[in-house]
Amino acid sequence: MEKLEWINETENSIRGIVVYDKADLDERQEFVWKKSENEIPSEKLNFMIDKLISEKLLIGDKLIKPTAEIEFAEFDNSTKEKLFAELFNVGINMVDNGKETDMFYLHD
């Protein structure tokens, strides 16, 4: 994944586009994450997601290395493992031609 573009955020959902290759317009996937109150990501999880993207540790829905090999100076191992568990439990709907078609989860 090269980039994550936010389209819209409402009280109930977050819409965006995952850009896998900036040079190829076909290498994009629109998504919608329907959130409930208990699914709103914590500040720590948002920070970790931003780091995973900025450090290019994601390819599509997969981490490029095992979680045990990924370190964050900002978190101890216990916090890191809890955040990855939280992240891996988030289901995200894919959107194709304006319709929700499938769901993906991040994994290692």
Q: Is the per-residue pLDDT at 37 higher than 70?
A: no
Number of H helices, E strands in the chain: 2, 7
The total number of structural domains that make up the chain: 1
Encoding tokens for residue 45?
A: 């999880």
Would the pTM of this model clear 0.85, i.e. be above it? no
Q: Where are the alpha helices (DSSP H) in 15-76?
A: 43-54
Q: Please give the Cα distance from 27 to 42 (Å, whole number).
A: 29
pLDDT in tens, 50-60: 888 888 898 77
Q: For residue 44, what are the domain limits?
A: 3-104
| pLDDT at site 36 | 65
